[in-house]
Structure 1
């Protein structure tokens, strides 16, 4: 596990200003770092599994500009649409949240400029983290869908990635609708993270459209996607189910009851898209627990 995380951080270090990591124990960061927080006028902070440490670098306006230039690989104008949504995905699948001064027109967000804050989430490949899911949900011949629930940053994407890898390597034809490029972390069209031998990826395509295109063109037995958030996306998954595909997807919620308060998630459950839910919780020391529930709707 440490090696995979170290490799993700090594990739980021090649993109980020060197001064960000001055006087920092990189061996410790490689194994423990989950986020890098950069706030204008404040020390850079490295969020670890069980706490955080402050770096010596202070986020000046120049450092913030250099961070954006590095993470966008000197192509910030090309990600303007993502920036105004508040996040973009850097090479290697690391999701970067941003904030700052927003230019608005007629009440609509037009452009984010003067970026003053970054939340860089380290993408991790943790092989084996879905072992219990595979054992308890899929090893007995279950052909139903799985909904993964947690608060943001608890490990939904990491769990999805390992589940599709294991099912794909086990013989199931799979497809990933990877709208933000976080699951497979494709670079020049090819996954840089292991999502399985029998997995096709539609990268950076709007989720609902990506699901429909994959079902139509690649005929997968399994569809995997992250953070279902709209009725259009839910309808695409229901259409995929009606075409014979099963789904593994995630959503922000703390429980099944919490998820059911959202109309589009309720529609998916009532439509029989999911037979089980996996709820991830995070302990104070950063460790994760997974509770598996059989759905009865």
Structure 2
């Protein structure tokens, strides 16, 4: 069952923007993934991995000249709303470039940054906001769970897909199902996309026996989970650097199962990537799940395939 909760995002939008999004996005035919507000630029929706503009009447267009343009005042109003009128209270999140809303929705932030010692301290001026609508699909992993879990064993698994094909959504449900099968599960959620913590409470269902470290460097979170929570399984979204790979190798070496994701089009491409080569050379991963999303169909079907490594 999919929980697509665009109505939870609408109250954060200025009225003139909200009215147009409501007209365009609330029909069953439209699966909205993103709402982008850019100052003095067209109001944009992300749908099935593609972008389209909204007209002043709430219609859909691909022509910039026909699009409704968002004002700078509207961007500032939306920013104040997502900060609940207290930028200071949410500075730690803002420094990461995004805020998490109740319900698991995330808002990416761009603009003129104020930096200190080479790190972003805050944003002096906000020029664009990207509302990413949470899509939690309970049961989407049903077809592959028998490949990942057999009896009392969880296989070390890597999920491979191009961007925007649903691998985080799939990993979220894999986590939930592993946890609910009785395995203590630790999640290194550096981008906050799996659990979507809001004031200490996960907004997404990651299972009954899951512990989450949110908004921390992935490698450090993995090591902390190993030291403190005695997990049977470690979950990591997106292996992106050598430290991540080394932490996963360490987890594997302690006998903890690992399920992780990475961008890629096929196994050979991923296997030959410098960061991942040592993991494949040491046969850390036993299974690969390949995702493909068919954007040529109206309902944007996602296909999965399990492969033994």
TM-score (norm 1): 0.85
Within 5 Å, give how 1:272-291 maps onto structure 2: 272-284=283-295, 285=297, 286-291=300-305
Mean Cα displacement is larger for which, 108-117 or 224-233?
108-117
Name the CA shift for 1:93/1:152 in 2 (closer, same or farther; >3 Å).
Answer: farther
Q: What is the aligned counterpart of 2:166 among 155, 168, 192? A: 155
1:35 aligns with 2:46: no
1:132 is paired with a residue whose SS is coil
Name the CA shift for 1:173/1:47 in 2 (closer, same or farther; >3 Å).
Answer: same
Residue by residue, what CA displacement relative to the aligned partner does 1:183-217 show, whole Å, maximum 9, x if unpaired?
Answer: 01122222121100111111222211111111111
Q: What is the aligned counterpart of 1:16 among 6, 13, 17? A: 13
1:179 aligns with 2:176: no
Mean Cα displacement is larger for which, 13-22 or 112-121?
112-121
1:227 aligns with 2:238: yes
- Residue in 2 that maps onto 1:194: 205
| CA–CA distance in structure 2, aligned partners of residues 118 and 39 of structure 1 | 7
Residue by residue, what CA displacement relative to the aligned partner does 1:131-152 show, whole Å, maximum 9, x if unpaired?
Answer: 1220233246653211112222
- Report how far residue 158 of structure 1 moved: 0.7
1:165 is paired with a residue whose SS is helix
Larger radius of gyration, structure 1 or 2? 2
Higher helix share: 1
Within 5 Å, give how 1:224-263 maps onto structure 2: 224-263=235-274
Give the gaps of 5 or more residues in structure 2: 57-67
2:17 is paired with a residue whose SS is helix
- Residue in 2 that maps onto 1:63: 74
- Residue in 1 that maps onto 2:54: 54
| CA–CA distance in structure 2, aligned partners of residues 124 and 43 of structure 1 | 24
Task: Name the count of aligned residue pairs.
Answer: 292
- Residue in 2 that maps onto 1:92: 103
Residue by residue, what CA displacement relative to the aligned partner does 1:115-165 show, whole Å, maximum 9, x if unpaired?
Answer: 333332211110111112202332466532111122222211111110011
1:28 is paired with a residue whose SS is coil
CA contact (8 A) 1:189 1:203 kept: no
Q: What is the aligned counterpart of 1:144 among 127, 143, 155? A: 155
1:127 aligns with 2:138: yes
Mean Cα displacement is larger for which, 281-290 or 135-144?
135-144
Name the CA shift for 1:110/1:173 in 2 (closer, same or farther; >3 Å).
Answer: closer
Name the CA shift for 1:196/1:85 in 2 (closer, same or farther; >3 Å).
Answer: closer
Give the gaps of 5 or more residues in structure 1: none
- Residue in 2 that maps onto 1:118: 129
- Report how far residue 293 of structure 1 moved: 2.1
Name the CA shift for 1:102/1:205 in 2 (closer, same or farther; >3 Å).
Answer: closer
- Report how far residue 288 of structure 1 moved: 1.2
- Report how far residue 73 of structure 1 moved: 3.1
Mean Cα displacement is larger for which, 114-123 or 157-166?
114-123
Name the CA shift for 1:205/1:27 in 2 (closer, same or farther; >3 Å).
Answer: same
CA contact (8 A) 2:185 2:211 kept: yes
TM-score (norm 2): 0.82
